[in-house]
Amino acid sequence: MRRSPALRAGVTGVLLMGALALPASASVSVAAASDGGGAQSFTIKDPRIAESSGLAASHLHPGVYWTHNDSGDGPYIYAVDSRTGKTVATVTLSGIGTPRDVEAISIGPGNQIYVGDIGDNLGGTWPYVWIYRLPEPKVLKDQTVRATQYVVKYSDGPRNAESLIVHPKTGRVYIIDKNENGGHLFEGPSRLSTSGTNIFRPVATVDLWATDAALSPDGRRLAVRGYFGGIYYDWNGGRIRRGGRLDVPLQQQGESVTYSLDGTRLLYGSEGKDSPVQAQDAPRGASSSSADSPPAHGSPASGSGPVGSIGGGVKAGAVAVALGALVLLGLGRLRRSRRSRRES
């Protein structure tokens, strides 16, 4: 999702105010570096990657993460080495049409990369979207790889989405739509087909304004992030059960998340030049707190509401700041919508 420089600056200021409003214990999660073993935080240093909107840990190259830009970049994905923050391979997808609004990336069984051209900034005006699939390159170098293109529609009509996940065991593809009031997990067919339209159907509610999601490597846990918070779910065969909240760091425009290759960390990315990718420990057990574990498919615990805007541990002052940021985001969407209608 693209915002004007003025609006981006406004949101950045709001996020800075929010960071100052956080309690000391929560402020630790804002830091770029992360202690302990496993995957570490890093900064994407490639000036071409100014709108990183998806993130996936490489299966063949430990420490490397695949990402892509938002709309307008072209059929490219980038392999970034987390040790240096530098791009070590640019892959050009061939055999597909012109990408429209690429928002997500995931890796499934057989080291197959799935790229979700599933965004719709006009809120559901495109009758179909696309998914591209290609093998993860065994050698990291600039190259062109032929991809397979799939046509996707939703059973209940078009919508905007920024989250695509592939189950690591079954290879089934899922999409979560992006809705300020919370969305749904949509399940695709058992196998995607190139010969016709692939219909995705809602199977569970998601209490989040979702900007990205990721499945753990063992396929047992789903992490969903928004701009100001996140939720993790027990996968439960796709009929997800809410487990608790994720401690999502405050970022300029947080639109990506992935599990590390070993499943012990979650890495959160943001749009923007020199954007940070921040590592946090992944949740390991179901929360015993009723405040963090409301009933599955229902409303969050009393006083919490959808978590697309607010993460756990945020005090009342930060809540107000976060709401102000949501207003700015809403204005940005309205302006984009009006501009797109004028251009069309």
Helix (H, G, I), strand (E, B) or coil at 18: helix
Give the whole-angstrom CA distance, residue 71 versus residue 81.
23
* Sign, CA torsion 317/320/324/325: positive
In this prediction, residue 1 carries a pLDDT of: 54
Other Cβ atoms closer than 10 A to 218: 11
Q: How far apart are the first and last CA of the chain?
A: 18
- pLDDT 10s per residue in the chain (344 long)? 554 444 344 444 444 334 333 333 333 333 334 333 479 999 999 999 999 999 999 999 999 999 999 978 999 999 999 999 999 999 999 999 999 999 999 999 999 999 999 999 777 789 999 999 999 999 999 999 999 999 999 999 999 999 999 999 999 999 999 999 999 999 999 999 999 999 999 999 999 999 999 999 999 999 999 998 999 999 999 999 999 999 999 998 999 999 999 999 999 999 999 999 999 999 985 433 333 333 333 333 323 445 544 333 333 333 433 444 444 445 444 444 444 444 44
Q: Do residues 257 and 239 make contact, with C-beta atoms less than 8 angstroms apart?
A: no
Tokens 């797109």 locate to 340
Phi and psi at residue 337, in whole multiples of 5°? -60, -45
239: amino acid identity, one letter: R
Nearest to 272 by CA among 248, 257, 253: 253
The whole-model pTM stands at: 0.79
pLDDT at 287: 37
- Residue 250's φ and ψ, nearest 5 degrees, are -70, 130
Distance CA 25, CA 77 (A): 36
Question: How is residue 129 written in tokens?
Answer: 């979207």
Strand partners, 135: 112
Instruction: List the one residue out of 317, 203, 216, 306 whose CA is nearest residue 259.
Output: 216
How far is it, in rounded angstroms, from Cα 85 to Cα 275?
Answer: 10
Residue type, 70: D
- Listed in sequence order, the residues at least 6 apart from 285 whose beta carbon sits closer than 8 Å to its beta carbon are none
Residue 226: predicted pLDDT: 95
Query: What residues contact 76, with CB distance under 8 A and at least 6 apart?
Result: 68, 69, 90, 91, 92, 93
Residues 163 and 279: their CA atoms lie apart, in Å, by: 19
Give the C-alpha separation, 257 to 274, whole Å.
Answer: 17
The predicted structure's pLDDT at residue 115: 98
**Using an 8 Å Cβ cutoff, are 1 and 255 in contact?**
yes
Taking alpha carbons only, the member of 224, 110, 223, 108 closest to residue 172 is 108
Whole-angstrom Cα distance, residue 128 to residue 152? 6
Pairing of the two strands 129-135 and 148-154: antiparallel
Picking from 164, 143, 158, the residue whose alpha carbon sits closest to that of residue 78 is 143
